Amino acid sequence: MSDIVLELQDVSKTYPSEAEVLRILNGASLALSRGEKIAITGESGCGKSTLLNIIGGLDTPDAGTIQAGSFSVHALSERDLARYRSSYLGLVFQFHYLLKDFSALENVMLPAFMAGVSRKEALERAKELLADVGLEHRLHHFPSQLSGGERQRAAVARALVNRPALMLADEPTGNLDPANALMIQDVLFSAADRHNASLIIVTHDPAMASRADHLYRLQEGRLVRS
């Protein structure tokens, strides 16, 4: 079995605008090993989130290939994309994106259900993860009853529930105060270590970037290792 969790080759993406065609990604390539943690930085609007969306199968590249384990992400059907997102990937966004009508516990359990995990097993995993992020006393609270930091911690727990091989975090601490930001960093990195998951963090926070194994900078549509 290959130790490469993710391999990007010459990924390009353009967005047409009124004045010109914006070339956001221009032959971006990357190879990520199991358990490896990298941070990607770059100026605002340089394409960091677009790159993460393409890796997450939320967006499609104009050219290039993305191989994640057995998934050829650039060419997956809707059905396989759903399977890829539920079984291989854990996504954390800048905004928590919890479902408002579901409790914290249910929000964390949902991806497990989608991956075909039994209810009992999903419940155990969700409770354990919520305890790991310090929310064991908030299991049945709805997102509107949680603070901003608590919501983001619940979102991290949700991303981890299917024990993904690859975690993508798009400025996960962007909306948080320093104390909560630090807690989220700890949770993300320790969870990645515990599950031997690879982690890609897009961040503007130098402190967070410094905790990664490697730092990449997105420059003129390409990933440059710092």
Binders of another protein among residues 190 to 219 (CB under 8 A) are none
CB atoms within 10 A of CB 183: 20
Relative orientation angle of helices 104-114 and 148-160, to the nearest 10 degrees: 20
Question: Using CB under 8 A, which of the segments 62-70, 106-114, 126-134, 218-226 binds another protein?
Answer: 106-114
Structure tokens at 94: 């800048």
Among residues 27, 35, 67, 113, the one that binds another protein under rule CB under 8 A: 113
Which of 30, 41, 93, 171 touches another protein (CB under 8 A)?
93
Whole-number CA gyration radius for the chain: 17
* 118: contact with another protein by CB under 8 A: yes
Does residue 182 come out as left (phi exceeding 0), alpha (psi in the -120 to 50 range) or beta? alpha
**Phi then psi for 7, rounded to 5 degrees?**
-135, 120
Nearer to another protein, 102 or 189 (CB): 102
Hey, what are 148's tokens? 């901003």
Number of residues engaging another protein in binding (CB under 8 A): 37
How far apart are CB 40 and another protein at their closest, in Å? 18
Q: Give 110 or 209: the residue with its C-beta nearer to another protein.
A: 110
Among 22, 119, 148, 207, binds another protein (CB under 8 A): 119
Per CB under 8 A, which region of 66-74, 110-118, 131-139, 186-194 contacts another protein? 110-118
CA distances for 45 relative to 25, 48, 171, 177, 218, angstroms: 11, 7, 13, 23, 10
CA distance 108 to 69: 24
Least distance from another protein to the Cβ atom of residue 165, Å: 14
Residues 44-83 touching another protein, rule: CB under 8 A, are: 53, 56, 58-59, 78-79, 82-83
- State how far the Cα of 112 lies from the Cα of 85, in Å rounded to an integer: 11
Restricted to residues 160-179, the positions that interact with another protein (CB under 8 A) are: 162
**Cα(166)–Cα(6) distance, integer angstroms:** 8
Residues near another protein, by CB under 8 A: 53, 56, 58-59, 78-79, 82-83, 85-87, 89, 91, 93, 95, 97-102, 106, 110-119, 122, 142, 144, 158, 162
